[in-house]
């Protein structure tokens, strides 16, 4: 083919457009920036994680700030959850982590409630105050129990 | 004159006991023939007898079922990929319809072997291409695409391309087919001239009797899966029935101009 | 009864030897392509044929597929009061499945079949033989740049398809169906994660690109040197390519959980 500047320009444009689309999908839509910002990795141990799983969201005041990247058992046979958070956050070291349900029957997520200390969480730190997931069975069991106790 | 099986050393190109079948049909059955260096040998025969296939065997484009095909001492049928490609540097092939790359201009087509195999500068390549095109009588067609050329012009460009790396062996597949008498003469003159000036070994597959008789030093006549080799003048006297039939038919078609011997 | 079994057996053997021939073919142009004779010019030309010329159909199809997804999604989600998740639904379906698969099928129908036809025609007109006699390996000169261009263009076209489709979904969902724009984008971005979704999409499209590149060039290269042969190569590419894409899509989805 005769070298044609028009064709070459169009090819270049095509490649740029394609890469641009890919970049948009990767960063804007796919949210790759979690790791990109030098993510903050913290741990929290719970008695019962309920339906919490990998990629479950982590939020503060209702705003998504990270994800659950793994759940394992620790030496005390409690569930140790690994939280990957946005690296630009400054979260007080005495914050609490609760496992809540989105809506009534929705997916479960970790809600962080900020504490009052000046010290902030660093990567590798452990969140001390944790509240496990509520399970419907236990709730009903407690209600029935309480109701039963009342009648006696 | 009979085919000379077994005497393969004196020929630049020798085919030795080749068997080849296509789609169950036998094409060559123990074919043996030789081609002398520096001569124009015309491969003659009726359509479909295997003239193009013989050229393809020699060029290594087709492998025989058994037998040897020796070109410049090497058995083409058994060469490895790299060696075969190396050998092809010394062979130029003119295909029946030119086989020019339709996505490139005439000049780019002729320049291709130079660009691929030599380190010559662009200016050098350009000048060489112009020279070669002029040598075949085509000077202003460099920027045209093959589809814009006539049949005769395409053949001449293809010839220029086949010669551009100065091969010692040239294979021509039906260079005259479908051309008007003027172009036939043109190409015939080009081929003969090249052979005289450069001593090229030329194999021409053709069923155009008149020009074959004029050009050839020797004729290899293909029939029935075998080859009969003779000088042009001796062909009619060979007594081979297929040859006699062929000559009569072709002479009838071309007019009574070329009767030689009784 | 025995005849049927014999025929099936013969076909199976044929298929296996065909795979073997394909392996040799791929080995040929991998070897050729890796050599330092890198022809940028031809690669650019091929990229134009596969990429730029496919842009129209990819973008148009993207828009319409996104629009249809939004329509269907909206009506079905509305039954559960979940219209707010439209962005997520459109995005996930597109990124994980429809994007790579539809792009691959569209490219197979347009660019791959054209590629096979081109190569098959070159076989018929002895152009590939002409190259061989000039000591130029057709696998290196013709096939390699075409296959490479196909493999490179596919993920780019996939990304463009998805972007256009997301936009198509936006136009229908927000402008036509009255969904809140912010909700569309938030639910979209919230649901899609790079590692599982986007990376998986890119992986699929790269695999499809390589697959179709091999099928189209192989079919063209081994075509019978006749007009019927060219036609068979073209249709064969579309059929084999489409089936291969769908089969590999299932395999990748099942194996990687993408």
Percentage of residues of chain B with pLDDT beyond 90: 53
Q: Does C151 touch chain A (CB under 8 A)?
A: no
The answer to whether the beta carbons of residues C193 and A30 sit under 8 Å apart is yes
When the pLDDT of each residue in chain A is averaged and rounded to a whole number, the result is 80
Sketch out chain B's domains with CATH numbers.
13-254 (3.40.50.300)
Do residues A60 and A24 share a domain?
Answer: no
Interchain CB distance below 8 Å, A30 and C188? no
- pLDDT category, B4, cuts 50, 70, 90? very low
Do residues A56 and A125 share a domain?
Answer: yes
- pLDDT category, C87, cuts 50, 70, 90? confident
Is A83 a domain residue?
yes
Task: Give the DSSP letter of residue B145.
Answer: -
Do residues A17 and A76 share a domain?
Answer: no
Measured at the CA of B244, the angle between CA B241 and CA B245, to 5 degrees, comes to 85
Do residues A87 and A25 share a domain?
Answer: no
Output the pLDDT for position B253: 63
Interchain CB distance below 8 Å, A17 and C160? yes
Q: Which of B128, B182, B125, B132 is nearest to B156 (CA)?
A: B132
Looking at the DSSP bridge assignments, the partners of residue A98 are A111, A131
Q: Does C130 touch chain B (CB under 8 A)?
A: yes
Q: Rounded to an integer, what distance in angstroms lies between the CA atom of residue B209 and that of residue B152? A: 19
pLDDT score of A74 more than 90 = no
- pLDDT category, C31, cuts 50, 70, 90? low
Q: Which domain holds residue C107?
A: 39-256
Q: Of A27 and B111, which is predicted with more confidence?
A: B111
Do residues A23 and A69 share a domain?
Answer: no
pLDDT score of B202 more than 50 = yes
The answer to whether the beta carbons of residues C192 and A29 sit under 8 Å apart is yes
CA–CA min distance C238, chain A (Å) = 24
Q: How far is CA C116 from CA A54, A84, A119, B23, in A?
A: 45, 48, 66, 24
pLDDT score of C36 more than 60 = no
pLDDT score of C34 more than 80 = no
Percentage of residues of chain A with pLDDT beyond 90: 5
Q: Does C64 touch chain B (CB under 8 A)?
A: no
Q: Rounded to an integer, what distance in angstroms lies between the CA atom of residue B215 and that of residue B47? A: 20
Is C30 a domain residue?
no
Do residues A99 and A125 share a domain?
Answer: yes
Full DSSP string of chain A: ----HHHHHHHHHHHHHHHHHHHIIIIIIT-THHHHTT-EEEEEEES--TT--TT-EEEETTEEEEEEEEEEE-TTSPEEEEEEE-TT---BTT-EEEEEESTTTS-EEEEEE--S-SSB--TT-EE-EEEPPP-HHHHHHHHHHHHHHHH-
Residue A1: its chain B contacts at CB < 8 A?
A: 103-104
Q: Rounded to an integer, what distance in angstroms lies between the CA atom of residue C48 and that of residue B22? A: 39
Is C31 a domain residue?
no
The answer to whether the beta carbons of residues C248 and C208 sit under 8 Å apart is yes
Q: Of C235 and A33, which is predicted with more confidence?
A: C235
Task: Please report all neighbours of B, defined by 3+ CB atom pairs within 8 A.
Answer: A, C
Do residues A2 and A73 share a domain?
Answer: no
Inter-chain contacts counted by CB atoms under 8 A, chains A and C: 81
Do residues A10 and A80 share a domain?
Answer: no
Is C79 a domain residue?
yes
Do residues A17 and A78 share a domain?
Answer: no
Q: Rounded to an integer, what distance in angstroms lies between the CA atom of residue B180 and that of residue B197? A: 26
The structural domain count of chain A equals 2
Interchain CB distance below 8 Å, B97 and C126? yes
The answer to whether the beta carbons of residues B109 and B120 sit under 8 Å apart is no
Residue C202: its chain A contacts at CB < 8 A?
A: 22
- Rounded to 10 degrees, the C-alpha dihedral C143/C149/C152/C157 comes to -130
Q: What is the pLDDT of residues B132-174, one digit of tens each?
A: 999 888 988 989 999 999 988 999 999 999 999 999 999 999 9
Q: What is the mean pLDDT of residues C132-151?
A: 92
Phi, psi torsion values for C217, nearest 5 degrees: -70, -35
Q: What is the pLDDT of residues B36-80, one digit of tens each?
A: 999 999 999 888 889 999 999 999 999 999 999 999 889 998 898
Is A146 a domain residue?
no
- b/e for B111-144, b at 16 or more Cβ within 10 A? bbbbebeeeeeeeebeebbeebbebbebeebbee
Q: Does C129 touch chain B (CB under 8 A)?
A: yes
Is A78 a domain residue?
yes
Q: What is the mean pLDDT of residues B18-30?
A: 90
Residue C133: its chain B contacts at CB < 8 A?
A: 59, 61, 88, 91-93, 162, 171
Interchain CB distance below 8 Å, B103 and A2? no
Is C185 a domain residue?
yes
Is C16 a domain residue?
no
Is A143 a domain residue?
no
Question: Other CB atoms closer than 10 Å to residue B203's CB: what's the count?
Answer: 25
Q: Which domain holds residue A74?
A: 37-137
When the pLDDT of each residue in chain C is averaged and rounded to a whole number, the result is 89
Do residues A26 and A43 share a domain?
Answer: no
Q: Which of C57, C93, C75 is nearest to C178 (CA)?
A: C75
Output the pLDDT for position A151: 60
Task: Give the DSSP letter of residue B238.
Answer: G
Greatest mean pLDDT range, A134-148, B207-221, C204-218: C204-218
Interchain CB distance below 8 Å, A18 and C91? no
Is A149 a domain residue?
no
Is A65 a domain residue?
yes
Output the pLDDT for position A34: 46
pLDDT score of A33 more than 70 = no
Output the pLDDT for position A68: 84
Q: Rounded to an integer, what distance in angstroms lies between the CA atom of residue C56 and that of residue C73? A: 25
Is A152 a domain residue?
no
Task: Please report all neighbours of A, defined by 3+ CB atom pairs within 8 A.
Answer: B, C
SS (H, E, C) C206-239: HHHHHHHHHHHHHHHHCCCCCHHHHHHHHHHHHH
pLDDT score of C109 more than 60 = yes
Output the pLDDT for position B261: 44
pLDDT score of C3 more than 70 = yes
Q: Rounded to an integer, what distance in angstroms lies between the CA atom of residue A55 and that of residue A52? A: 9
Output the pLDDT for position B163: 93
Output the pLDDT for position B258: 47
Q: What is the mean pLDDT of residues A77-86?
A: 86
- pLDDT category, C35, cuts 50, 70, 90? very low
Is C5 a domain residue?
no
Q: Tell me the ipTM for this assembly.
A: 0.87
Is A79 a domain residue?
yes
Do residues A108 and A129 share a domain?
Answer: yes
The structural domain count of chain C equals 1
Phi, psi torsion values for B92, nearest 5 degrees: -120, 140
Output the pLDDT for position B237: 77
Do residues A25 and A42 share a domain?
Answer: no
Q: What is the mean pLDDT of residues A97-123?
A: 82
Q: Does B163 touch chain C (CB under 8 A)?
A: no
Question: Other CB atoms closer than 10 Å to residue B33's CB: what's the count?
Answer: 25
Q: Of C162 and C257, which is predicted with more confidence?
A: C162
Residue A67: its chain C contacts at CB < 8 A?
A: 193
Output the pLDDT for position B5: 47
Q: Does C132 touch chain B (CB under 8 A)?
A: yes
Q: Of B176 and A137, which is predicted with more confidence?
A: B176
């Amino acid at each position: 083919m005769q070298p044609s500047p028009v064709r070459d320009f169009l090819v270049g444009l095509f490649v740029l457009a394609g890469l641009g689309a890919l970049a948009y999908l990767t960063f804007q839509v796919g949210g790759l920036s979690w790791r990109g910002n030098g993510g903050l990795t913290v741990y929290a141990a719970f008695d019962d994680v309920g339906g919490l799983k990998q990629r479950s969201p982590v939020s503060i005041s209702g705003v998504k700030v990270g994800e659950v990247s793994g759940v394992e058992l620790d030496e005390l046979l409690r569930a140790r959850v690994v939280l990957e958070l946005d690296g630009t956050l400054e979260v007080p070291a005495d914050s609490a982590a609760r496992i809540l349900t989105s809506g009534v029957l929705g997916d479960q997520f970790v809600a962080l409630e900020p504490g009052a200390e000046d010290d902030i969480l660093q990567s590798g730190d452990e969140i001390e105050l944790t509240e496990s997931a509520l399970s419907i069975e236990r709730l009903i069991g407690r209600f029935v129990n309480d109701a039963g106790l009342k009648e006696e | 004159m009979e085919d000379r099986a077994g005497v393969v050393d004196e020929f630049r190109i020798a085919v030795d006991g080749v068997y080849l079948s296509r789609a169950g049909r036998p094409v060559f059955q123990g074919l043996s023939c030789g081609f002398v260096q520096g001569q124009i040998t015309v491969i003659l025969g009726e359509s479909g007898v295997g003239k193009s296939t013989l050229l393809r065997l020699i060029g290594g484009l087709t492998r025989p079922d058994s037998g040897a095909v020796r070109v410049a001492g090497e058995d083409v049928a058994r060469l490895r990929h790299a060696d075969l490609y190396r050998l092809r540097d010394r062979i130029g092939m003119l295909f029946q319809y030119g086989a020019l790359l339709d996505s490139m201009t005439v000049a780019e087509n002729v320049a291709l072997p130079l660009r691929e195999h030599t380190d010559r500068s662009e200016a050098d390549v350009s000048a060489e291409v112009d020279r070669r095109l002029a040598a075949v009588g085509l000077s202003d067609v460099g920027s045209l695409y093959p589809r814009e050329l006539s049949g005769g012009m395409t053949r001449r460009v293809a010839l220029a391309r086949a010669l551009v790396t100065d091969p010692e062996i040239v294979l021509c597949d039906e260079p005259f087919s479908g051309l008007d008498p003027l172009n036939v003469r043109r190409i015939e003159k080009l081929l003969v001239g090249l052979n005289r000036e450069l001593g090229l070994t030329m194999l021409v597959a053709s069923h155009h009797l008149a020009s074959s008789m004029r050009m050839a030093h020797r004729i290899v006549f293909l029939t029935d899966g075998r080859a009969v080799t003779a000088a042009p003048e001796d062909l009619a006297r060979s007594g081979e029935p297929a040859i006699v039939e062929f000559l009569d038919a072709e002479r009838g078609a071309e007019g009574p101009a070329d009767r030689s011997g009784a | 009864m025995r005849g049927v079994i014999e025929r099936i057996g013969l076909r199976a053997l044929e298929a296996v030897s065909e795979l073997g021939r394909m392996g040799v073919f791929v080995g040929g142009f991998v070897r050729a392509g890796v050599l330092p004779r890198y022809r940028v010019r031809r690669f650019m030309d091929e990229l134009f044929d596969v990429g730029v010329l496919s842009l129209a159909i990819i973008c148009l199809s993207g828009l319409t597929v996104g629009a249809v997804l939004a329509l269907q999604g909206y009506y079905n989600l509305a039954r559960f009061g979940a219209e707010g998740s439209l962005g997520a639904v459109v995005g996930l379906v597109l990124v994980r499945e429809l994007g790579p698969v539809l792009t691959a099928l569209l490219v197979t129908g347009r660019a791959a079949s054209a590629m096979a036809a081109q190569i098959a025609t070159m076989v018929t007109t002895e152009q590939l033989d002409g190259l061989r006699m000039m000591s130029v390996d057709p696998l290196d000169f013709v096939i390699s740049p075409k296959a490479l261009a196909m493999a490179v263009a596919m993920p780019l076209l996939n990304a463009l398809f998805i972007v256009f489709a997301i936009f198509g979904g936006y136009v229908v969902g927000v402008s036509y169906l009255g969904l809140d724009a912010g909700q569309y984008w938030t639910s979209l971005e919230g649901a899609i994660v790079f590692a599982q979704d986007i990376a998986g999409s890119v992986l699929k499209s790269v695999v499809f690109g390589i697959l179709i590149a091999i099928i189209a060039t192989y079919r063209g290269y081994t075509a019978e040197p006749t007009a019927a042969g060219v036609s068979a190569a073209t249709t064969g590419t579309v059929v084999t390519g489409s089936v291969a894409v769908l089969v590999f899509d299932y395999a990748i989805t099942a194996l990687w959980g993408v």
